[in-house]
Amino acid sequence: MIMGRGLVNRLLALFVALVALALPCAAQAEDGYQLWLRYAPLQGEALARLEAFDPHVQFASDVNNDVISGTAFQELRRGLKSLLGHPLSKSGNGGSIVLVCAYAPPEEGAQFKVFARSARQIEISAAGSNGCLYGAFALLRALSLGADLTKIDLDEHPAMPLRMLDNWDDPNGYVLRGYSGRSIYDWWKLPGHLDPRLIDYARANASIGINGVVVNSVNASPLFLTDRYIPKLKRVADAWRPYGIRLYITARFSAPKDVGGLPTADPLDPAVQAWWKARTDALYAAIPDFGGFLVKANSEGEPGPQDYHRTHAEGANTLARAVGKRGVVIWRAFVYSAEDKTDRAKQAYNEFVPLDGKFDANVILQVKNGPIDFQPREPFHPLFGAMPHTRLMFEGQITKEYLGQATHLVYLAPLWKEVLDARTGPDGTVAQVIAPTGMAGVANTGSDRDWSGSHFNQANWYAFGRLAWDPNLSSEQIAREWAAQTFSRDPAFLTKVVPMMIESRQAVVDYMTPLGLAHQMATGHHYGPGPWICDLARPEWNPCYYARADKAGIGVDRTASGSNALAQYAPSVAAQWTDPKATDEAYLLWFHHVPWDFRTQSGRPLWDQLVQRYDRGVANVDAMARTWASLQPYVDPERFADTADYLRIQSQEARWWRDASLAYWQSVNGLPLPAGTRPPEHSLDYYKALAFPEAPGN
């Protein structure tokens, strides 16, 4: 049968209409893979403005177009098309977005300007092509947030040169402290096959200004230093170069012995030094822009220079000389030892301050935000401000090892901001100390479709990059940007979701470790409560070490009458925490052991205040769950339901934390609960008997 043209057209129209009907539903279910780079089609005035501009993207003719500016060009086209909801017009008669970029290495040339030369021409100009790439992402972000193209006027530069992610991934695909599936690196299939996800990863990182990634865990396998891994690493580095991302690896300090066939890894042994030099040369021969090494040495059983009675500086400098001007050696300050009986909070400072000025110029010391370990709240690490002759880098943990991992909604920008904004003395803040160097975040990425174990955990990845770019951004602004790009631009959505995110951090502090407590998580998995654990051989592996609760009181005396960790801070800083009566309640039990009836600034006795804080934490999680429920109209069903489920889990577990903690504190202090307080649901024995052999980290 021959169909007439009219019939064909009608059938075609019917088919198109059916597809169009089906599309909104299909488009609605989202799995989170696109992160904040969804570029959801604009609507209303914003759409009309962009339509009227009718953008096309071009390079200025007289500049050097390298691979990175090529990425900027492609990203602009991709983003504009998506924001418009249709392909860019081919005529080229519309307004133009012109890229003016030169080439510079990833740590340089990142500053950019985006501005309107005329009503019909927007220019993105940068000293380096990576600046053009950041400018392109900034322009798309602004448009996504509803900005008028012709009024855009951005002039930005990164606050610090190194903005890095540290993956804690093992060659076998296991991610240490990972709560989002397996590793995204398939070292077995590399170099023959590169998972395109690694390119999506680089793109997401570039969009927030990240310019370096360490691909393997700090508890390092020496495999990464073998010949077999060089082509694998090269394949990844080549894939990331167009995104301005340099590849780094962690180096196992004992590698000269483990895989080099040498009898020692003594950093002062000439054969060891020659081995590091040869290995490093081999890496640079394959990857000319290789970033360098990250090292965890003499910490938690990892090998290091002290195994040979050498200092951390001697160890670091041996690697640094092998690398030379080509890159850096990032040495971690996270050390505490089984033999050292001083307060764990003091040990890194005691170890490293005497080495100030002894590190080579290309050595960076990477310092965790607080002196213990990525807790819901710690005061800033006293090394910040105490090593003026050493390049210090900030290390934060994006993966929420101690903050409820995948299922608890905790937005971390307020935690990092608290530290970045802290004054280290009369001269400045932590952000200023690290400005010449950088920030590294322990990544929360894995093979899960949503990358980060939960949709809201993506916000922490986003926030980390944005803060490394500009630590002066407010937590609110970052949350707003992220939520608008990730979920919905609707102001009715944003005015509710942003405060919910901001309050989530204090909520977790309240229900896990209120009033300056820390490290009450059960040993091993670090997920649920374990304040009663006190029988492990190394005292500092026991939660009881961090609360020192007894019949008389609770908290760690870190003043002159106790460990005097306080003296590691500049006098002007220490002064605010010396007197328990004047100490901000956020740090009260961090610095002081106080009686249960100690009168807090609220007027309530400490015990009552502690109970009140646990209750407040639980109430705030319930409030978050209610807020989220009210946001259903703005979110696709899949991501809405995932988040609602997790908030239900968090509500239950906030209660678990509160009840188990109160049951335990009561067993210690023998005090009744304040009048009107809900008693713990179960006995202390019940909470003690809970076991989670399948929890990640066990």
Of 401 and 540, nearer to ligand GCW (C-beta) is 401
User: What is the smallest separation between the CB atom of 439 and ligand GCW, expressed in angstroms?
Assistant: 15
**Would you state the structure tokens that stand for residue 495, as one six-digit string?**
């005015």
Angstrom distance (rounded) from CA 305 to CA 324: 19
Residue count of the chain, please give it: 698
Of 42 and 335, nearer to ligand GCW (C-beta) is 335
Angstrom distance (rounded) from CA 526 to CA 534: 15
Cβ-based neighbour number of residue 490 at 10 Å: 15
Helix (H, G, I), strand (E, B) or coil at 208: coil
Of 96 and 180, nearer to ligand GCW (C-beta) is 180
Active site residues: 300, 373, 401
- 3 state SS for 350-410: HHHHHHCCCCCCCEEEEEECCCCCCCCCCCCCCCCCCCCCCEEEEEEECCCCCCCCCCCCC
User: What is the smallest separation between the CB atom of 510 and ligand GCW, expressed in angstroms?
Assistant: 22
- Amino acid letter, residue 50: L
User: What is the smallest separation between the CB atom of 202 and ligand GCW, expressed in angstroms?
Assistant: 24
**Would you state the structure tokens that stand for residue 77, as one six-digit string?**
């086209």
Angstrom distance (rounded) from CA 280 to CA 321: 10
Closest CA to 144 of 30, 34, 243, 47: 47
User: What is the smallest separation between the CB atom of 395 and ligand GCW, expressed in angstroms?
Assistant: 8
Q: Do the beta carbons of residue 254 and residue 221 sit within 8 Å?
A: no
Q: Do the beta carbons of residue 275 and residue 191 sit within 8 Å?
A: no
User: What is the smallest separation between the CB atom of 95 and ligand GCW, expressed in angstroms?
Assistant: 49
Hey, what's the torsion of the CAs at 280, 286, 291, 292, to 10 degrees? -20
Of 296 and 655, nearer to ligand GCW (C-beta) is 296
User: What is the smallest separation between the CB atom of 217 and ligand GCW, expressed in angstroms?
Assistant: 6
Of 132 and 294, nearer to ligand GCW (C-beta) is 294
CA angle 241, 247, 248 (to 5 degrees): 165
User: What is the smallest separation between the CB atom of 533 and ligand GCW, expressed in angstroms?
Assistant: 15
Of 240 and 416, nearer to ligand GCW (C-beta) is 416
Of 168 and 482, nearer to ligand GCW (C-beta) is 168
User: What is the smallest separation between the CB atom of 373 and ligand GCW, expressed in angstroms?
Assistant: 5
List the alpha helices (DSSP H) in 34-156.
44-53, 67-84, 129-144
Cβ-based neighbour number of residue 636 at 10 Å: 17
Instruction: Kindly list the residues in this chain that would bind ligand GCW in the complex (CB under 6 A).
Output: 168, 176-177, 218-219, 296, 299-300, 334, 373-374, 401
Q: Do the beta carbons of residue 146 and residue 46 sit within 8 Å?
A: yes
Closest CA to 419 of 395, 399, 436: 395
**Would you state the structure tokens that stand for residue 197, as one six-digit string?**
């996800």
Of 300 and 584, nearer to ligand GCW (C-beta) is 300
Residue showing the smallest CB distance to ligand GCW in the complex: 373
Q: Decide the pairing of beta strands 212-214 and 246-250.
A: parallel
What is the tally of helices (H) and strands (E) in the chain?
A: 20, 17
Angstrom distance (rounded) from CA 452 to CA 466: 17
Angstrom distance (rounded) from CA 85 to CA 220: 46
User: What is the smallest separation between the CB atom of 225 and ligand GCW, expressed in angstroms?
Assistant: 18
Of 302 and 608, nearer to ligand GCW (C-beta) is 302
Q: Do the beta carbons of residue 183 and residue 224 sit within 8 Å?
A: no
